[in-house]
């Protein structure tokens, strides 16, 4: 039986690392990327290989850069035919007043969170189109659905991901390729390390479930969505403990 391959961007920590572990535990080969932490990613790949016997290709580079993404796919394709599942997870947050948001910050957030989805998806698609199957899961945010004060660039970048998800799902449904997004609420990762314990407790109090979500909970949903029939497509699924 063919062993399937999943690509996860931003897999060196947090949600991406949990998704990588989930796919590895289910016997999938992996393509893992991160921005800088090449050694950490390689250690992770060795551990996943030792634990689950899967093959891992790692790449450190900027998924918002056309050159890096092309380089990643060119080198990955020397190892695998292509990817059956693409998880666009790499992302950064940015907090601050809109009036103090510089063009550079705006562009960096849009490039990392939205352009990366465009670039990676474009590179992954020829193989999926050839085999007439595949699944793309974009890791988005509830702020892309409803907007967050002092996070305008982040909200706009995730809103773009949500709209791209719905539009591309329609375009790719005839080819048997699903495109969905998971709009996360507050998940307990380093992305939220900017908050003090007290601030985190205040946020948790606002969430009906009474706590932050875990990376493993996101990973479980991502895996389930990626394995559904391609008839499940164009959905923006909120995973937020009832918050929004
Ligand atoms: P994190 O900061 O722990 O991890 C981010 C990962 O993205 C890292 O592996 C990092 O190397 C990678 N990355 C950053 N910029 C990159 C770039 N230009 N190219 C390649 N890789 C890059 O964050 P996380 O909480 O695990 O977030 C993962 C995703 O989930 C992000 O898209 C984020 O927006 C989304 N999300 C997180 C939360 C949350 O509360 N943590 C909520 C909603 C959505």
Q: pLDDT tens digits, residue range 11-60?
A: 999 999 999 999 999 999 999 999 999 999 999 999 999 999 999 999 99
What is the sign of the dihedral through the CA atoms of 167, 171, 174 and 180?
negative
Using CA atoms, how far apart are residues 139 and 188, in angstroms rounded to an integer? 15
Residue 29: C-alpha distances to residues 78, 119, 156, 217, 237 (Å): 14, 21, 33, 21, 26
pLDDT given for residue 94 in this prediction: 97
Judge: domain 5-239, CATH 3.40.50.720: yes
Determine whether 52 is an active site residue.
no
Q: Which residues line ligand 1 (CB under 6 A)?
A: 9-16, 33-35, 62-64, 89-92, 112, 139, 141, 184, 186-187, 189-192
Q: Where are the beta strands (DSSP E) in the chain?
A: 5-8, 29-34, 56-60, 85-88, 134-141, 177-184, 236-239
Question: How far does the centroid of ligand 1 lie from the alpha carbon of residue 112, in Å?
Answer: 9
pLDDT given for residue 1 in this prediction: 63
Please name the residue whose Cα sits nearest to atom 8 of ligand 1: 10
Residue 112 makes CB contacts below 8 A (sequence gap 6+) with 62, 63, 64, 90, 91, 92, 157
Residue ranges in the chain whose pLDDT is less than 50? none
- Residue from 52, 127, 154, 231 carrying the catalytic annotation: 154
pLDDT given for residue 2 in this prediction: 76
Question: How far does the centroid of ligand 1 lie from the alpha carbon of residue 102, in Å?
Answer: 21
Atom of ligand 1 nearest to the CA of 88: 32
Using CA atoms, how far apart are residues 102 and 100, in angstroms rounded to an integer? 6
pLDDT given for residue 3 in this prediction: 86
Using CA atoms, how far apart are residues 211 and 114, in angstroms rounded to an integer? 28
Question: How far does the centroid of ligand 1 lie from the alpha carbon of residue 174, in Å?
Answer: 31
Nearest 5°: CA angle at 110, between 159 and 15?
75
pLDDT tens sequence across 58-75:
999 999 999 999 999 999
Mutate to test the pocket of ligand 1, among 7, 12, 14 (most ligand atoms within 8 A of CB): 14
Question: How far does the centroid of ligand 1 lie from the alpha carbon of residue 2, in Å?
Answer: 30
Mutate to test the pocket of ligand 1, among 58, 91, 217 (most ligand atoms within 8 A of CB): 91
Mutate to test the pocket of ligand 1, among 191, 193, 239 (most ligand atoms within 8 A of CB): 191
Using CA atoms, how far apart are residues 44 and 32, in angstroms rounded to an integer? 10
Count how many Cα atoms sit within 13 Å of the Cα of residue 146 in the half-sphere of its side chain: 8
Please name the residue whose Cα sits nearest to atom 12 of ligand 1: 10
Atom of ligand 1 nearest to the CA of 154: 34
pLDDT given for residue 84 in this prediction: 98
Candidates 12, 42, 8, 10; CA nearest to 23 is 8
Residue 228 has which token pair?
Answer: 């559904």
Using CA atoms, how far apart are residues 113 and 235, in angstroms rounded to an integer? 18
Report the predicted TM-score, pTM, of the whole model to 2 decimal places.
Answer: 0.99
């Amino acid at each position: 039986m063919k062993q399937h391959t999943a690509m996860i961007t931003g897999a060196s920590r947090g949600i991406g690392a949990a998704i990588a572990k989930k796919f590895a535990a289910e016997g999938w080969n992996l393509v893992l990327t991160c921005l800088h932490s090449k050694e950490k990613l390689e250690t992770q790949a060795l551990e996943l290989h030792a634990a689950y016997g899967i093959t891992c290709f790692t790449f450190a580079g900027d998924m918002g850069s056309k050159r890096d993404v092309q380089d990643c796919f060119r080198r990955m394709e020397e190892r695998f035919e292509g990817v059956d599942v693409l998880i666009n997870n790499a992302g950064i947050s940015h907090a601050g007043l809109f009036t103090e948001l510089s063009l550079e910050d705006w562009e960096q957030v849009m490039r990392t969170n939205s352009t990366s989805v465009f670039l990676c998806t474009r590179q992954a698609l020829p193989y999926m189109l050839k085999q007439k199957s595949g699944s793309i899961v974009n890791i988005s945010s509830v702020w892309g659905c409803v907007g967050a004060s002092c996070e305008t660039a982040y909200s706009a970048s995730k809103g773009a991901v949500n709209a791209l998800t719905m539009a591309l799902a329609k375009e790719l449904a005839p080819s048997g390729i699903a495109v969905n997004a998971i709009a996360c609420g507050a998940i307990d990762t380093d992305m939220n390390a900017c908050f003090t314990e007290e601030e985190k407790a205040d946020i948790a109090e606002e969430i009906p479930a009474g706590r932050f979500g875990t990376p493993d909970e996101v990973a479980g949903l991502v895996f389930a969505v990626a394995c559904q029939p391609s008839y499940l497509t164009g959905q923006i699924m909120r995973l937020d403990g009832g918050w929004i």
